[in-house]
Chain A
Amino acid sequence: MIDFALPRYQVRRDAEECVGCGICVRECANGVHVARSGGTAPKADHQKCVNCLRCVLTCPTRALTITRWPQVDGGSAVWTLEYLQDIATQATSGGVLLSSMGNPLPYPVYWDHLLLNASQVTNPSIDPLREPMETRVFLGGRPVALEIDERARTLRSPLPPQVKLDVPIMFSAMSFGSVSLNTQRALAMAACELGTLFNVGEGGLHRDLERYADHAVVQVASGRFGVDPRYLNAGAMVEIKIGQGAKPGIGGHLPGEKITAEVSRTRMIPEGADAISPAPHHDIYSIEDLRQLVFSLKEATRYEKPVAVKIAAVHNAAAIASGMARAGAEVIVVDGFRGGTGAAPKRIRDNVGVPVELALAAIDQRLRDEGIRSTVSVVASGSIRSSADVVRAIALGADAVSCGSAPLIALGCHQCGDCARGRCNWGIATQRPELIERLDPDEGAERVVNLVRAWTHEIQEMMGGMGINAVDSLRGNRLMLRGVGLTDRELDILGVKHAGE
C-alpha cells in the first residue's frame, strides 16, 4: 500500500548561501536536516518538518526558508488536501487525530470587529506619560455592601480575600509536564517582576518554583495531581479547572514518556505511567457539587485564598457563570475556543466551544442583570494577541485577562502546533534535557517582562485616549467599543453599537 501522507512543508536551502556548517542538523530535534559527508549542504527530510523556524532563525547565512508543500488538491473546496490527509492518516492508524495550540480555523475573530473610542473636544484625553494611570486590579469576591464603623474608621464586614495585580494581565495555566520547567520558571520570574500571577496548571508546583508561590495560581483539576494541603496553601489563589477552551468537555492525557522523574515527583504519580485527567471531576455533577468543592478548598486554606473556577466558553456559559458565582466561585475564568493547549484531539479543538468575546459579553451581561456582577471577578482568556485585545476584553466586562500563547511566543514559540510530540526545538513544550537548556529562564523572563511592560504602556495610551485613568473605569465600559461588519444579533450579544452610531 502506498503511504498517502504528504509533507506539510518544504525546506528550501539556498545552495549559494549554505556553507555546510551543520548547525541546522544539530538544532532540529525532528531530524529534518541530514548531514552529508565532505562539508556539503545537508539534505532535508521534508516530511518531518513542522515549521517551527528553529533552523531558519539559527542558520548563520539565512540560507533556509520553509514554504508550504506545493502539491495542490483537486480544486474542491470540500475535499481539501487537509481532509484527504487526515482521512489517510486515520485509515492507516485508526487513531484519534491529535493537535496542539488553539483553534486555527477562520472562524470570526470578534476582536477584529471591535474598534476603540478616543476623546475629541468634549472631554479631554489623558497623557499617561505625565499623569497617573492606574493599571492595578484586585481579584476576589466582594460583599454586596460594606459596613463601616465611621467613628473607629474600620471595616465591620469582613472582606473576602483578594489578590492584587499590578497589571490586568496574568499568565495562563500551563502545567509542568506539558511545558518545561524552564518555561514555568521564566513565567514565574516574570510574574514576580511584573506584580502579576502565573498559573502552575494541573501538574503540581515544582519545588524550585516554591519561592515564587506567592505569585502562583495553583490549579485543582480532575486528576488532582500534586494537590495536597501544602500545595493549596502555597499559592496566591486556588483555581478549579472545569474546562479549557481548546478542549471543552474532555479531560487530558499526559503520555507516560513525558512523566520524567521530576514531573513524577511534582505530580506525585509514578514515572512513565500515563497521567489521566478524567473529563469530569467525579465529585462535581452539578452546581451544588461545585459549591461543595469550592468550600472544601476554602476549608483547606482557611478562607484565606480566593477560589477561581475556570470553564471553557460553551453555549450556555452565561447561565453556568451565574451558577458558578452562586456556588461560591470568587473569580470566574472563561477560556475561549482559540485558547492554546499542549495537546487536544483535533476535532475537539477545531469544532467545540465558542469565541471568548461572545461568552465574555454574555457572562458579564447576565451577572449584571442578576445583580451579582460586583460580587465576583471575571477573567477572560483564549487568543489575547495584543494590548488592544486586552482593552477590548476589559471593555466587554473582564476584570483581567490571562495570556498563554503570547508569552510563549515571547519565549520562542512559533505556533507550529506540534507541542504534543514533545520535541519542541525552542525548549518550551518538551521534557528533553538537551532541548530544555536552549531556553534560558532569566533571558526568557526578561523578554516576557518586556512584552507585558510594552502592552501595559499601550493600554495606558489607549485608556488615556478615551479619557479614562483606571482599568476599573474601563471594565464593562462598552460605550468605548463600536462594532464593524457585524450583524444586529452579534452586536446585541456583544452589547455594543455599530461604528457610526
Chain B
Amino acid sequence: MGTVSAASAANKQEGAQSCSSGFAPAPAERVTLGALHFKEANEQVRQALDRVDDVALEDVRAQRYLGCALPAGKRLRIHGTPGNDLACFMDGGTVEVLGNAQDQVGNTMNAGEVIVHGRCGDAAGYAMRGGRVFIRDGCGWRAGIHMKAYDARQPVVVVGKDAGSFLGEYMAGGVFVVLGETGDYLARGMHGGVIYLKNPPRAGALSDEVVLSRVDDADLAVLAPLLAEYDRLFAAELGYRVSAEASEFFRVTPASSRPYASMYVR
C-alpha cells in the first residue's frame, strides 16, 4: 500500500480531477468560496442548490459544514480542501472531494455518499447511521466511532490506506473497511457492526471485547462489492486494484451486543 503522499500530492494538481467516479452530468453551477466565512459560504451553496441539483465548489479553503444535511438528489463536487464536519447530518446527497478532507467527515450522517480523492482527518464517520464514505487514502484517529446501524440503514466507510488508533471505538453497527494498517486500541467498546482489515491488527491492539477471524463467504458478499466500488472510484488514479484480494481479509466483530450487561449491580 505504501505511503499516502505520492498519490494525494498528484491529486492536488488540476490534472487529477479528471479521474472522477463517473459523476454525471457536469455540475450545472459553480460557486467559488475563496476566503468566505463558512456561514456565508454555506448560504451561497444552499442558494445554488435551491436552483440546481449539481453544484461545483471552486477554491475551497477549509470552510466547515459543506454538504450539511444535504438531501437526496443534490450533489456537491468540491475542488480544494473542505473543512471539518463535511457532510454532517447528510440526508441522501452526494459529495465528492477532489483533494483531502479534514476532521469528522460524515458526522452523524443519515444517508448519501461521500467520495474523497485523498485522505481525511480524525473521527471520520462519527455516529454515522447510514450512507457510504469512500476515502481513497488514509484517515486519522477515531474513525468510525459510534457508527450505528438501524433497520435497512447500514453505514459503510472504506479507507484506502492507513487508519489511526481507536478505530471503531464504541462502534454499534455498520461496516468499516481498512486497506492499510491500523493503530492501537482497535475497536474498543465495539458492540455492533463489523470491521474488515486487509492487514492483521497490530499486536496487542485488540481487547477481548472483540473477536478476530478470517472472512467467510457471508463476509465476502458484503466486502467484495465494496472493494469493487473502491476500484471503480480510484483504481485509475492509483494504478492498482484491490478487489481481487477480498478473500485475504480479516474480520473484527464484537464479542457481545451487551458489553456492559454484567457491569452493574443494585
Given contacts A224-B127, A228-B129, contact A296 B68 (CB under 8 A): yes
Asked if A232 is at the interface (CB within 8 A of a chain B CB), the reply is: yes
Q: Kindly state the separation between the CA atoms of A343 and B266 in the bound complex, as whole angstroms.
A: 10
Asked if B263 is at the interface (CB within 8 A of a chain A CB), the reply is: yes
Q: B89–A276 contact, CB under 8 A?
A: no
Interface string of A391-430 (1 = CB under 8 A from B): 0000000000000000000000000001011000000000
Interface string of A233-275 (1 = CB under 8 A from B): 0000000000000000000010110000000100011101110
Asked if A216 is at the interface (CB within 8 A of a chain B CB), the reply is: no
Chain A residues near B64 (CB, 8 Å)?
292, 295-296
Interface size class of B (residues with CB under 8 A): 35 or more
Chain A residues near B264 (CB, 8 Å)?
95-98, 253, 343, 345, 420
Asked if B142 is at the interface (CB within 8 A of a chain A CB), the reply is: yes
Q: A96–B127 contact, CB under 8 A?
A: no
Q: A295–B38 contact, CB under 8 A?
A: yes
Q: A276–B38 contact, CB under 8 A?
A: no
Could you tell me the distance in whole angstroms from the C-beta of B219 to the nearest C-beta in chain A? Answer: 19
Could you tell me the distance in whole angstroms from the C-beta of A270 to the nearest C-beta in chain B? Answer: 7
Q: Kindly state the separation between the CA atoms of A229 and B91 in the bound complex, as whole angstroms.
A: 7
Asked if B261 is at the interface (CB within 8 A of a chain A CB), the reply is: yes
Interface string of A467-489 (1 = CB under 8 A from B): 00000000000000000000000
From B146, B191, B257, B263, contact of A224 by CB (8 A):
B146
Chain A residues near B89 (CB, 8 Å)?
227-229, 232, 296, 300
Q: Kindly state the separation between the CA atoms of A268 and B148 in the bound complex, as whole angstroms.
A: 8
Could you tell me the distance in whole angstroms from the C-beta of A33 to the nearest C-beta in chain B? Answer: 20
Asked if A299 is at the interface (CB within 8 A of a chain B CB), the reply is: yes
Q: A276–B260 contact, CB under 8 A?
A: yes
Chain B residues near A96 (CB, 8 Å)?
263-265
Q: B123–A276 contact, CB under 8 A?
A: no
| Stretch in contact with the other chain, from B16-24, B52-60, B102-110 | B102-110
Q: B145–A300 contact, CB under 8 A?
A: no
Q: Kindly state the separation between the CA atoms of A296 and B63 in the bound complex, as whole angstroms.
A: 12
Chain A residues near B84 (CB, 8 Å)?
292
Closest to A230 in B: B91
Q: B146–A278 contact, CB under 8 A?
A: yes
Given contacts A227-B108, A276-B189, contact A256 B257 (CB under 8 A): yes
Q: List 11 A-B contacts (CB under 8 A).
A: A89-B266, A224-B126, A224-B129, A227-B108, A229-B89, A230-B91, A232-B89, A269-B150, A274-B257, A283-B85, A299-B88
What residues of chain A have their CB less than 8 Å away from a CB belonging to chain B?
A: 89-90, 92-99, 222-224, 227-230, 232, 253, 255-256, 264, 268-270, 272-274, 276, 278, 282-283, 292, 295-296, 299-300, 302, 343, 345, 418, 420-421
Query: Which 10 A-B residue pairs are closest in the complex by CB-CB distance?
Result: A95-B265, A224-B127, A273-B257, A229-B69, A98-B264, A268-B150, A93-B265, A299-B68, A299-B65, A228-B110
